[in-house]
């Protein structure tokens, strides 16, 4: 602009010189025309173009904006919508929408006009319809449920209460109450309302009893009287307790009738209300389990939950640990009952096995722990066909004994050598390796598992 101003000054200066020289009215008109022409050609003109874009947030929600933040007049299907550099548009029904932005100034008398077309499908609103089921517990106590299990916003007389698929309304004073459910997140916003009048006579009725049931799990329930008064509780006609609430943990599938009753001097006739809980067989499908037992020796057993359930393990009724597996290895003879219990899963299921550990078994274990020649090694200890014994010296006899104490293999040798023992013909299981001198002195003992 400074350069343009300099050029204008030079031009005007020269023209004035000629004017002074000529002193003519026509020259003054000529000067005005020349200056106007210079200004129109040298000064930049205003750009009348606009560039609009939009962002789609959902099937019915959009934001339109001008990329240079120029403030526009916006129309929707030819009707003025609002002004601004950006607008939010939320369609309330399916259809085709033409969104246009424009502006008019003295430099842009005809104004730029840019439009975008969006199509909102009917599918966008399929999930917006809902209905409400109402269960009256008393003259002042109502339960509301969204029949399609939609998450709704619940209001009482215009005040927000909570967002949930259900709402429990229990008036504490007389009055008129409008209960509304709103699907605010789903266009078009839909509201269903019901109006209830709670009279003073209703609030003075001390005989009213309501049951509220809170389902924690398919087999765990919290049940309480709606106004927290103490009542007599019955399940399938069996008295449970006299309190303002009870916990109910069914141990098998079935239909359970939950009843609450009260009889006081103020309620000489008494009042008795009931509700029903249905417990599905599916609730207990994961409670069954089995235990696999792997015997490592006559005193050593591994017990494993086949379905990898977390079980509580007991030995002779004494708790040991909670795990999917338990290793049982005793150091003294006796009778041991090993039990696995799924205490957290109703009905509580227990599987038990009894093991009798004799003194002979523990003598073998003791020999293994105390007389093993540390120079003698067995490789591998788990095999499908054979194994080798290293570190032997002198004259020796190798015995292989099964878990029943039967000798199934024997081999003799002498010298400092390694020998190979072929057990491919033996049945899979645990075998004890006994290494003796020729005068029957024990040199060592080991174990091999034949797969």
CATH architecture of structural domain 288-361: Sandwich (2.60)
Look at residue 217 in the predicted model and tell me its pLDDT: 80
**Domain 52-123 class?**
mainly beta
Tens digit of pLDDT per residue, the chain (451 long)?
A: 444 444 445 555 555 555 554 455 555 555 555 555 555 554 445 567 788 889 988 778 889 998 888 888 889 998 898 888 898 988 878 889 999 988 877 777 777 888 999 998 877 776 667 788 888 877 778 889 887 777 888 899 999 988 888 898 888 788 899 999 888 766 667 788 999 898 877 766 556 788 888 888 888 899 988 777 788 899 998 998 888 889 988 878 889 999 988 876 656 666 788 899 898 887 776 667 788 888 777 778 888 887 777 788 898 998 888 888 888 887 788 888 989 888 766 666 788 888 888 776 665 444 444 434 457 788 888 888 888 888 877 788 888 888 777 888 888 888 767 788 888 888 888 888 888 877 777 777 788 888 7
* CATH number of 371-450, picked from 2.60.40.1220, 2.102.10.10, 3.20.20.450, 3.40.50.920: 2.60.40.1220
Look at residue 406 in the predicted model and tell me its pLDDT: 80
The domain ranges of the chain are: 6-41, 52-123, 129-204, 211-282, 288-361, 371-450
| Prediction pTM value | 0.30
Give the CATH H-level superfamily of domain 129-204. Answer: Immunoglobulins (2.60.40.10)
Asked if 211-282 and 288-361 have one fold, the answer is yes
Q: What is the 3-state secondary structure (H, E, C) of the chain?
A: CHHHHHHHHHHHHHHHHHHHHHCCHHHHHHHHHHHHHHHHHHCCCCCCCCCEEEEECCCCEEEEEECCCCCEEEEECCEEEEEECEEEEECCCCEEEEEEEECCCCCCCCCCEEEEEEEECHHHHHHHCCCEEEEEEECCEEEEEECCCCCEEEEECCEEEEEECEEEEECCCCEEEEEEEECCCCCCCCEEEEEEEECHHHHHCCCCCCEEEEEEECCEEEEEECCCCCEEEEECCEEEEEECEEEECCCCCEEEEEEEEEEECCEEEEEEEEEEEEECHHHHHHHCCCEEEEEEECCEEEEEECCCCCEEEEECCEEEEEECEEEEECCCCEEEEEEEECCCCCCCCEEEEEEEECHHHHHHHHHHHHCCCCCCEEECCEECCEEEEECCCCEEEEEEECCCCCEEEEEEEECCCCEEEECCCCCCEEEEEEEECCCCCEEEEEEEEEC
Q: Which fold has domain 211-282?
A: Immunoglobulin-like (2.60.40)
């Amino acid at each position: 602009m400074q350069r343009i101003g300099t050029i204008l000054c030079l031009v005007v200066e020269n023209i004035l010189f000629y004017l002074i020289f000529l002193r003519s009215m026509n020259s003054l008109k000529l000067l005005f025309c020349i200056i106007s022409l210079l200004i129109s050609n040298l000064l930049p003109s205003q750009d009348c173009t606009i560039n609009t874009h939009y962002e789609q947030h959902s099937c019915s929600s959009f934001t339109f904006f001008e990329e240079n933040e120029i403030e526009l007049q916006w129309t929707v299907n030819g009707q003025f919508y609002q002004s601004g550099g950006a607008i939010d548009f939320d369609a309330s029904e399916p259809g085709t929408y033409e969104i246009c932005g424009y502006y008019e100034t003295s430099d842009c008398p005809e104004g730029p006009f840019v439009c975008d077309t969006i199509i909102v499908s009917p599918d966008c609103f399929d999930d917006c319809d809902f209905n409400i089921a109402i269960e009256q517990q008393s003259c002042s106590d109502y339960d509301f449920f969204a029949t399609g299990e939609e998450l709704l916003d619940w209001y009482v007389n215009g005040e927000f209460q909570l967002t949930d698929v259900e709402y429990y309304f229990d008036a504490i004073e007389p009055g008129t109450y409008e209960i509304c459910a709103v699907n605010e997140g789903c266009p078009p916003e839909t509201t269903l309302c019901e109006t209830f009048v709670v009279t003073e006579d209703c609030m003075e009725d001390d005989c009213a009893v309501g049951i509220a049931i809170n389902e924690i799990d398919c087999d765990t329930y919290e049940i309480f009287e709606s106004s927290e008064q103490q009542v007599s509780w019955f399940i399938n006609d069996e008295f449970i307790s006299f309190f303002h609430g009870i916990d109910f943990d069914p141990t098998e599938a079935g239909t359970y009738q939950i009843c609450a009753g009260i009889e006081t001097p103020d309620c000489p006739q008494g009042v008795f209300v009931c509700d029903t809980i249905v417990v599905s067989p599916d609730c207990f499908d994961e409670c069954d389990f089995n235990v696999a037992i792997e015997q490592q020796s006559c005193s050593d057993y591994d017990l494993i939950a086949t379905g990898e359930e977390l079980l509580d393990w007991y030995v002779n009724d004494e708790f040991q640990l909670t795990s999917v597996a338990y290793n049982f290895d005793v150091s003294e003879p006796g009778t041991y009952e090993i039990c696995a219990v799924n205490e957290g899963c109703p009905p509580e299921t227990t599987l038990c096995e009894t093991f009798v550990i004799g003194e002979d078994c523990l003598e073998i274990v003791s020999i293994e722990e105390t007389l093993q020649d540390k120079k003698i090694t067995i490789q591998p200890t788990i095999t499908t066909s054979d194994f080798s014994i290293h570190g032997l010296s002198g004259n020796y006899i190798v015995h292989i004994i099964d878990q029943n104490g039967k000798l199934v293999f024997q081999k003799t040798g002498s010298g400092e050598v390694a020998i190979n023992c072929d057990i491919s013909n033996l049945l899979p299981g645990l075998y004890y390796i006994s290494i003796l001198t020729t005068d029957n002195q024990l040199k060592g003992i080991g174990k091999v598992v034949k797969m």
